Amino acid sequence: MDFLPFARPDITEAEIEAVATAMRSGWLTTGQNAAAFEKEFMAFVGVDAHAVAVNSATAGLHLAFEALGVGPGTEVLVPTWTFTSTAEAVHYLGGDPVLVDVDEHTLCIDLEDAARKVTPRTVAIAPVHYAGLGVPDGALSDFARTHNLAVIEDAAHAFPTLNEGTLIGAHGHEATVYSFYATKTMTTGEGGMIVTPDAELAARMRTMRLHGINKDVFDRYSSTKPSWQYDVVAAGYKYNLTDTAAAMGRVQLERTPEMVARRNAIAERYDAAFADLPVTLPAHAPAGSSHAWHLYNLRLTSDAPVGRDRFIELMAEAGVGTSVHFIPLHLLTFWRDTYKLSESDFPVASAEFLRTCSLPIFSAMTDEEIGRVVSAVRAILG
Catalytic residue among 117, 184, 215, 225: 184
CA distance 15 to 37: 14
User: What order of strands is seen across the sheet that includes strand 296-300?
Assistant: 279-280, 296-300, 356-359
Output b/e per residue, 201-226; b: 16+ Cβ within 10 A: bbebbbbbbbbebebbbbeeeeeeee
Half-sphere exposure of 153 (CA within 13 A, CB side): 34
Query: Is position 184 annotated as part of the catalytic site?
Result: yes
CA distance 350 to 79: 12
CA distance 75 to 98: 6
Element (H, E) at 244: helix 243-274
Exposure of 264 by Cβ count < 10 A (0-12 exposed, 13-18 middle, 19+ buried)? middle
CA distance 125 to 188: 27
User: Do β-strands 75-79 and 122-125 pair in parallel, antiparallel, or remain unpaired?
Assistant: parallel
Cβ–Cβ < 8 Å for 196, 174: yes
Count, residues in the chain: 382
Cis peptide before 197 (omega within 30 of 0): no
Name, in order, each residue with C-beta under 8 angstroms of 81's C-beta and a sequence gap of 6 or more.
Answer: 102, 107, 108, 109, 128, 130, 326, 328, 349, 352
Task: Tell me the CA distances in angstroms from 124 to 38, 60, 102, 108, 140, one per residue in order.
Answer: 25, 16, 17, 16, 12
Strand partners, 77: 98, 125
- Residues marked active site are found at 184
